[in-house]
Structure 1
Amino acid sequence: MEDEQLPYWVQRVVSINQGVDLENLTVKVIEASDLSRHYNCFTLQEGVVRIHLVPYLTIEERGKVGLIELIDLDCSSSSPRRICGGLKVTVYIRATRKVEDLLLIHLDEDGGTVITGDNLKVLQKASKFREGDTVEIWMFRVPNDNESTKELCFIFVKQD
């Protein structure tokens, strides 16, 4: 989808939020695990993360996600450990619906990068996605009052 083909609501979300750097991340087919309350995560494909997402993130954001190893400077520990509590993100699923306080995080156990958090259940319910649905995922940034970097946001556009 090119910018001219973006649904009006997507363009409006970016504009209202003073969004910048709108980029297409991927097209994803929704899997059962993306909808499962048991797994509680929305998986991003490894190749997409490496090629499109990692270059979009700052070094600090990569560290928060767990995509690079940052050394914990706490001297109480003799060994370095990964600092990756996750990067706070917001996901827009319709013009009037956004889900905040989600986390983008890389899971060392299986090497996957996911969107997760307590509010993922809200995203799963409100999106009304079904297994097999095709979703185009866009990313953009919005000004953040607390930090110099702009907050990472995603827009999930269900394709008909």
Structure 2
Amino acid sequence: MVVYDPAAASQQRDAKRARRPSADAGAVVPYDVQPINAVPLKAIASRLPRLAPAPAVPEEPPCLRRHILPALGLRDDLPVHFIDRKRVTGTDLDAHQNRFRIPTDGVLGRLRPILTPEELDAASLLHDPAPRPRRRPEPDELENIAAGDDSEAEHQEQGQTARKKRQGRRHGGLPVRLVDLAAGASGELLLSRWESTGGTVVKGEGYMGFVRRCSFREDDAVEIWAFKQRAVRLFGAAVCDESHLHLLIVRRGGSQSQRSSSASTAHAKSEG
């Protein structure tokens, strides 16, 4: 026989109520918090400067390792780096300009990493942007400064300084050789970045003679490849010597004028 105990039943009911979750246990408690002043990621991305996409690296010229490198006296397993593409401009072939310009994106993104700090410094590529030269006083300013000085020796020194200023400042550069399939290799030229415009050019005596022998003409699309042999010594003996930096200019396809002429000829034939 089961005896009903009211006190025990009351304790069981209280224990069950204690185990049940409260109705307010999962309620969201409001907080007095100010909204976050966030900027959408798309808005931030639109403000960032967009870099020009790197051009796809083309295949190496087929005759590079079989003919060009051995003809230059270089190892045929030399690392060869694609620098950039460009169209030959009239200024690249102008005797008054006397220089070949290398695209800035290719210089900064692909040519600089393969050069040593000493080579970068020689080409004015070590610092970005290129350091600007300190302003020198003009000849008129030098004359005004020394106007009150009656010393003949100082007047002669001022005249020499003025003549040097009129002659201009000599620009150095990194020794480099240009290479063309038709013209071969040039003599020693100089690779340098201009401090005024930031453009990187190859210049020097003998440049125009080399360009006249080259296979490319104005408006031709060309690729620029760079390679340089580093000196290697094994057990104290020289395995290979250091070479100049070489820039190979390879003509790809025809010029714009040639394509326009071909298109006009094809159109005339189709009408006939």
Q: TM-score range by the shorter chain?
A: 0.7 to 0.9
1:46 aligns with 2:104: yes
1:79 corresponds in structure 2 to none
Q: Which has the higher contact order (CA 8 A, sep 6+)?
A: 1
Aligned-partner Cα distance in 2 for 1:119–1:143: 25
Counterparts in 2 of 1:7 and 1:96: CA distance versus 1, 3 Å: farther
* Cross-structure match for 1:61: 119
CA RMSD of the aligned region, Å? 2.3
Partner residue of 2:74? 18
Name the counterpart of 2:249. Answer: 156
Task: Confirm or deny: 8 A CA contact 1:34 1:43 kept in the other structure.
Answer: yes
Separation in structure 2 between the aligned mates of residue 156 and residue 23 of structure 1, nearest angstrom: 12
Tell me which of 69, 90, 102 is aligned to 2:189. 102
| Alpha-carbon shift at residue 96 of structure 1 (Å) | 6.3
User: Partner of 2:96: helix, strand, or coil?
Assistant: coil
Distance in 2, Cα, partners of 1:122 & 1:113: 20
TM-score by length of 1: 0.79
1:95 positional shift:
6.1
Give a deviation string over 1:36-71, Cα, whole Å, max 9, x none. Answer: 1111111111111110111111100000001125xx
The letter of the residue matching 2:246 is C
Shift of 1:143: 5.2
- Which of 88-97 and 126-135 deviates more? 88-97
Match of 2:206 in 1: 119
Unaligned runs of 5+ in 1: 70-83
Structure 1 residue runs of 4 or more that deviate by more than 6 Å after TM superposition: none
C-alpha displacement at 1:14, in angstroms? 1.7
Q: Considering fraction of residues, name the structure with more strand.
A: 1
Partner AA of 2:59 in structure 1? E
Q: TM-score, normalised by structure 2?
A: 0.48
Which protein has the bigger helix share?
2
Q: Please report how far the alpha carbon of residue 15 of structure 1 lies from its aligned counterpart in structure 2 after TM superposition.
A: 3.5
Aligned residues: 142
1:18: Cα distance to partner? 2.2
Per the TM alignment, residue 150 of structure 1 is displaced from its structure 2 partner at its CA by 4.0
5+ residue gaps, structure 2, are 1-57, 128-170, 232-237, 254-272
